[in-house]
């Protein structure tokens, strides 16, 4: 299927691994010119051929500087993929509400919410000119807050609401805004030896590998496996394409049917 993206331009945040890296790869395969942003430009990201930009999007001026750099590299902007998110690997997210400090709340919102808000703000005039699109990567934790760390889930819920509200405002100007909410994905958050999955396994007293093997069943995923980053990337790229011209303001779940509510 031709997604009619050849020659278009895109900015992808959180691009060094996982969903972000898969999205960069998928966009490049469709003929899109991509600026890929991450705190660290990994060898895997460099190997894609995308224009890598090292930036910390949790700083107040990082998003604006990134958009300026993307415009200088690309000459315009058709698609923004706000994928940056996650949490500090050094933080212990397995405790309850009373264990979460003010700093952890602030950090969670900086990376999972404000980074996307600020990047969208900086990019919007250029996306309006191009009649482009924004795709925000949230999480099913926004719909099932008990399923993840409370600060992370709350920040993702804010991101999902932001996408819906922004779509209403900018739709008449020709800009589409959609949200993609994956369930558990084979990313560092779950698979890294110092990530949330490993912390959760340790708190439950089970081996990390055992937790990952049982996670699809525990999460109610009828597919019996975690979501692959490439599957999420394919949905993101489609939503950013002209083929999805009437799709805006929606939260698209890709979770193996773990969210049971209508």
Cα 112 from Cα 118, distance rounded (Å): 11
The predicted structure's pLDDT at residue 38: 98
All domains of the chain in start order, with CATH: 9-183+227-249 (3.40.50.720)
pLDDT digits (tens, 9 = 90+) for 184-206: 999 888 998 988 889 889 989 99
Cα 154 from Cα 169, distance rounded (Å): 23
The predicted structure's pLDDT at residue 88: 63
Give 172's contacts (C-beta < 8 A, 6+ positions apart): none
pLDDT digits (tens, 9 = 90+) for 62-88: 999 999 999 999 999 999 999 999 876
The predicted structure's pLDDT at residue 188: 86
Cα 157 from Cα 83, distance rounded (Å): 14
**What percent of the chain stands above pLDDT 90?**
87
Calculate helix-pair angle for 18-29, 229-239, nearest 10 degrees: 50
Only one residue has tokens 């993307």, namely 70
Average pLDDT for residues 154-182, to the nearest whole number?
98
Positions marked active-site: 152
Full-model pTM: 0.95
What H or E segment, with its residue span, contains residue 182?
Answer: strand 176-182
**107/147: higher pLDDT:** 107
With contact defined as beta carbons under 8 Å apart, do 212 and 190 qualify?
A: yes
Distant-in-sequence contacts of 66-74, Cβ < 8 A, 24+ apart: 66/11, 66/13, 66/35, 66/37, 66/119, 66/122, 67/11, 67/119, 67/122, 67/123, 67/126, 68/122, 69/35, 70/9, 70/11, 70/35, 70/37, 70/123, 71/126, 73/35, 74/9, 74/11, 74/33, 74/35
pLDDT digits (tens, 9 = 90+) for 16-46: 999 999 999 999 999 999 999 999 999 999 9
Cα 171 from Cα 124, distance rounded (Å): 12
């Amino acid at each position: 299927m031709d997604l009619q993206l050849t020659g278009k331009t895109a900015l992808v945040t959180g691009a060094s691994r996982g969903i972000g890296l898969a999205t960069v790869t998928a966009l490049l395969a469709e003929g899109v010119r991509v600026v890929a942003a991450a705190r660290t430009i990994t060898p895997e990201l460099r190997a894609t051929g995308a224009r890598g930009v090292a930036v910390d999007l949790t700083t107040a001026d990082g998003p604006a500087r990134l958009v300026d750099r993307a415009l200088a590299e690309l000459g315009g902007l058709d698609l923004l993929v706000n994928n940056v998110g996650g949490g500090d690997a050094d933080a212990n997210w397995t405790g309850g509400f009373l264990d979460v400090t003010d700093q952890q709340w602030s950090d969670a919102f900086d990376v999972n919410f404000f980074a996307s808000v600020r990047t969208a703000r900086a990019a919007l005039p250029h996306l309006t000119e191009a009649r482009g699109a924004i795709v925000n990567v949230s999480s099913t934790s926004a719909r099932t807050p008990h399923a993840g760390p409370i600060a992370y889930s709350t920040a993702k819920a804010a991101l999902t609401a932001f996408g819906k509200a922004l779509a209403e405002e900018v739709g008449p100007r020709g800009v589409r805004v959609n949200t993609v909410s994956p369930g558990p994905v084979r990313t560092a958050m779950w698979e890294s030896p110092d990530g949330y999955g490993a912390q959760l396994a340790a708190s439950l007293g089970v081996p990390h590998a055992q937790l990952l093997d049982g996670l699809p069943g525990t999460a109610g995923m009828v597919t019996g496996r975690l979501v692959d980053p490439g599957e999420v990337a394919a949905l993101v790229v489609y939503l950013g394409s002209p083929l999805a011209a009437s799709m805006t303001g929606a939260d698209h779940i890709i979770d193996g049917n773990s969210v049971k509510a209508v």
